[in-house]
């Protein structure tokens, strides 16, 4: 029984981060009415930027949000202006092919620049955990879950109470 609870807690913590990613997809579809098949690759670019900031400048992954967020925001604005806006009035098929093409382009550029090697960020707290009633909770996953939950709550209130 303890194993099932452990798996459930780990799944919930990871699921919170996946929920934040899926809200990004929903937001894009809800506002622009385009299913962005390159969304995952943009998350990948964010992760690579975080990795390189840590690797080159020893920047904490959580602190790197200060740089990664504006850079990826600018990338998203550029993507919207250069790729999405010109195809807004075209057929759904054209929108799908365009975002799938951008997805393939970003995947292959990542393979060219960084190969298919496994990369990870090791920090002093990477392996830290809490033990609550014999259930081990990863501290980095708990922090990521809390950050995702806070972002979701802020986004919800932003859309509910603003025009």
Check residue 35 and report its DSSP letter.
Answer: -
Residue-level pLDDT at 163: 83
Residues 58, 80: Cα–Cα separation, whole Å: 32
Would you place residue 126 in the very low, low, confident or very high pLDDT band (cuts 50, 70, 90)? confident
Residue-level pLDDT at 28: 87
Average pLDDT over residues 130-145: 91
Inform me whether the pLDDT recorded for 11 exceeds 90: yes
- Using one digit for the tens of pLDDT, what is the confidence trace for 81-123? 999 999 999 999 999 999 999 999 999 999 999 998 989 998 8
Q: What percent of the chain has pLDDT over 70?
A: 100
Q: Which residues contact 64 (CB under 8 A, 6 or more apart)?
A: 49, 50, 53, 54
DSSP assignment of 100-148 equals HHHHHHHHHHHHHHHTT-------TTTT-EEEETTEEEEHHHHHHHHHH
Residue-level pLDDT at 20: 86
Average pLDDT over residues 7-30: 90
Residue-level pLDDT at 24: 87
Residue-level pLDDT at 61: 93
Average pLDDT over residues 38-52: 95
- Look at residue 162 and give its three-state secondary structure: coil
Rg of the chain taking only CA atoms, in angstroms = 18
DSSP assignment of 38-105 equals THHHHHHHHHHHHHHHHHHH---TTTTHHHHHHHHHHHHHHHIIIIIGGGTTS-HHHHHHHHHHHHHH
Residue-level pLDDT at 5: 93
Inform me whether the pLDDT recorded for 137 exceeds 90: yes
């Amino acid at each position: 029984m303890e194993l099932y609870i452990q798996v459930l807690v780990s799944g919930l913590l990871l699921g919170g981060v996946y929920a934040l990613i899926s809200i990004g997809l929903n937001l894009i579809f809800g506002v622009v009415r385009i299913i962005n098949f390159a969304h995952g690759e943009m998350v990948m670019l964010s992760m690579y930027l975080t990795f390189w900031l840590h690797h080159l400048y020893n920047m904490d992954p959580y602190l790197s949000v200060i740089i990664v967020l504006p850079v990826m925001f600018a990338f998203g604005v550029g993507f919207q202006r250069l790729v999405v806006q010109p195809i807004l009035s075209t057929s759904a098929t054209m929108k799908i092919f365009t975002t799938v093409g951008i997805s393939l382009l970003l995947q292959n550029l990542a393979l060219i620049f960084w190969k298919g090697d496994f990369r990870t960020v090791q920090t002093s707290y990477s392996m830290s955990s809490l033990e609550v009633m014999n259930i081990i909770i990863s501290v980095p996953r708990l922090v990521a879950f809390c950050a995702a939950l806070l972002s979701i709550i802020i986004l919800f209130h932003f859309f509910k109470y603003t025009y």
